[in-house]
Structure 1
Amino acid sequence: MSEAVVKDLLGKSFRVSDLDYVIVDVIAVRGDWMVYAETRQPARTARRAAFHLSDLTRMVGFGRDARTA
């Protein structure tokens, strides 16, 4: 993934399990891309969550180039 696409993901929002998240960091870990996001609502658990980019692509409809729709 290019640096431009990674930068484009920062600040994007998505919804998972009735929580709205905003992407705060994207890093490569052992050949996989990890997306770190924070909830916008007060959360009962940890405010920050980590997702595999491939899972987000499938769950929330990110396009092939990893940009949100």
Structure 2
Amino acid sequence: MKTWLEAQLALVATEMVTVDEVLLPYLTDGSGQPLYDNYWEREALVIATTVAALFAGGPENVIELDT
């Protein structure tokens, strides 16, 4: 277990993966679904809801950034 964890943390250190990608698939909710799947489903919902809210009123709700 220690060797596996060290290997996973080495991947995280090289930025090949994130901590949530490495560890959350092994933790499950009550139904047996990996927490990683639940996490990203919720993140996608938050992003979609935010984008929809930003564009709901039309172009006047879009914030322009100075470049």
Smaller-chain TM-score range?
A: under 0.3
Q: TM-score, normalised by structure 1?
A: 0.25
Which one has the bigger strand percentage? 1
Q: TM-score, normalised by structure 2?
A: 0.25
From the CA coordinates, give the structure whose radius of gyration is larger.
2
Higher relative contact order (CA 8 A, sep 6+): 1
